[in-house]
Amino acid sequence: MTTINVPPRAASLDDWRRLNDEDPGHRYEVDRGNIIIMVPATPNHQTASSRLFAWLLGTGVPADLILMETGLAIDPSTGRIPDLIVLRERPAPGTLYIDPRSVLLAVEVVSNSSMTADHVDKPAEYAAAGIPNFWRVDDASFDVDNATVTCFVLGADGAYTARIAKEPLTEFVKRPQAML
């Protein structure tokens, strides 16, 4: 059993870093000062992420710019762990958490336990942080072969607009190039 010390106040990104260092057996996010213990991803969830990673690699995105389950420092009280991100440039050695300004794409594979966050909270946070592309994969937890991808692009108004809506993942990964 792991014992962690939870701060008696709203959590900060420093607390998030400490928790992840003290307890590497769990994943944590900080949502507006609230600590969230993330449940392990299902095999279908990971398969969807892996298919997107492999496809991005195959379209020419360099492997060291595609990161899976990496900490993203949204603001002083919010840290997220997107399922996959594509960076503008390789992070500096020793980087602990990615600055959203260096992210071209954030991908969330929706889980039952994070449906509201993946549909509402995270897209709003990523848009406010200026991440130009957000993709959401739905229905992967139940049956990865029936998962769908919706691709959003950040508009001049600071909100995401769907560019591709609910395309089957199996068809999406046949596209010849990534839309970044």
pLDDT score for 5: 61
Higher-confidence residue: 23 or 86? 86
pLDDT of residue 94: 84
Say whether pLDDT at 140 is over 80.
no
Give the whole-angstrom CA distance, residue 114 versus residue 44. 15
Q: List, in order, residues 6 or more apart from 120 with CB less than 8 Å away.
A: none
Give the start-to-end residue ranges of the domains of the chain: 41-172
> Amino acid identity, residue 101?
R
Which residues have a Cβ under 8 Å from the Cβ of 179 and sit 6 or more positions away? 133, 151, 163, 164
If you compute the radius of gyration of the chain from its CA atoms, what whole number of angstroms results?
16
What is the reported pLDDT for 166?
95
Average pLDDT, the chain: 89
Q: How is domain 41-172 classified at the CATH fold level?
A: tt1808, chain A (3.90.1570)
Report how far residue 69's alpha carbon sits from residue 134's, in angstroms, rounded to the nearest whole number: 15
Between CA 39 and CA 117 the distance in angstroms is 14
Per-residue model confidence as pLDDT tens digits over 44-71: 889 999 999 999 999 999 999 999 989 9
